[in-house]
Amino acid sequence: MNFQIFMQQLINGITLGSLYGLVAIGYTMVYGILRLINFAHGDLLMVATYAVIYSMALFMLPWYLSFPLAILFTGLVGILLDRVAYRPLRNAPRISLLISAIGASFLMENLALVIIGGVPKPFPRPSLFDKVVDLYGVKIQVLTIYTPLTTIVLLLGLLYIVRYTEVGKAMRAASRDFETTRLMGINLDRVIALTFLLGSSLAAAGGIMWAMKYPQVNPFMGIIPGLKAFIAAVLGGIGSIVGAVVGGFLLGIGEVLIVAIFPGLAQYRDAFAFMVLIFLLIFRPTGIMGEAIVDKA
């Protein structure tokens, strides 16, 4: 493998990784507060891409209006998801919460199937992103540059919200100690709703960029990216936002490079992430940036 191809693959990996990272943030934020894997999180990718397709086809919106609207819409779907599937179960056993999450995920997928049909739809990628630039002999589609840049910008924005605003502080307090935060008179349901809004919006951004990279959209498209993003979140140390993005980059780069270096393993590509997860759980269940879990009696 020569340098050009290596760079090309590395950039591919970074792009893929930044998508995993964006989606992983939502998992990590929700897990931080509710200690729940939001199984339906991956399906929000699908919701966002269909929102884009419909707003562009039905309302003839240009992409720069359609994308933000789709992101906002998905954020609201995220809040609705919490309201319907999780909020009634705040005091229920955790297994119930998780089962409700799985139910919600299947409901979203099959509702999409019923409403839209199972035929994959092409995603209308704005031609702006098709351009190719030549960087010292390495040919790069501009999309692959915009994707990680967008991720970094969104990450910085999110970090600002979490660290310097009142709601952000409430979020962090809730993820430290749910009960005490409640006792301090903070409206937790609002904090949680906001968490879902932010996490789902980022997933939507990830979904739109995913669809621009792989422009075939179907009701089940969110499952695999969702699972891998979750693994990225665990890899980075669940609960840590920066960790989620780092985990996303590592997983994306690792996945692309392994296939690039050993082409014979291409068929096993989708299993790679799960092998990472299994080894992670054996050797370092808290992830790279996570804190030790204390088994408190």
Binding site for another protein (CB under 8 A): 31, 35-37, 84-85, 88-89, 92, 94-96, 98-100, 102-104, 106-107, 109-111, 113-114, 117-118, 219, 227, 230-231, 234, 267-268, 270-271, 273-275, 277-279, 281-282, 285, 294-297
C-alpha distance from residue 149 to each of 1, 131, 180 (Å): 27, 16, 38
Contact 217, 55 (CB under 8 A): no
Which residue carries 């031609």 as its tokens? 127
Shortest CB 279 distance to another protein, Å? 8
d(CA 82, CA 176): 20
| CB distance 104 to 84 below 8 Å | yes
**CA-CA-CA-CA torsion sign (217, 98, 170, 225):** negative
- In Å, how far are 79, 98, 197, 232 from 106, measured between CA atoms? 17, 13, 20, 22
> By C-beta, is 3 or 106 nearer to another protein?
106
For residues 5 and 111, which CB has a smaller minimum distance to another protein in the complex?
A: 111
Q: Which is nearer to another protein, 92 or 149 (CB)?
A: 92
Q: At what angle do helices 43-58 and 63-81 cross, to 10 degrees?
A: 140
Judged by beta carbon, residue 88 or residue 122, the one nearer another protein is 88
CB of 77 to another protein, least distance (A): 16
Work out how close the CB of 232 gets to another protein at its nearest, in angstroms, rounded to a whole number.
12
Closest distance of CB 231 from another protein, Å? 8
| Closer to another protein by Cβ: residue 160 or 279 | 279
Nearest distance from C-beta of residue 199 to another protein, angstroms: 16
Name which of 220, 218, 243, 221 is nearest 230 in CA terms: 243
Between 7 and 258, whose beta carbon lies closer to another protein?
258
Q: Which CB sits closer to another protein, 103 or 137?
A: 103
| d(C-alpha 137, C-alpha 82), whole Å | 48
CB neighbours of residue 267 within 10 Å: 8
For residue 213, the minimal CB distance to another protein (Å) is: 21
46 token code pair: 């699908």
E strands, the chain, in order: 121-122, 132-135, 138-141, 216-217
Q: How far is the CB of 71 from another protein (least distance, A)?
A: 25
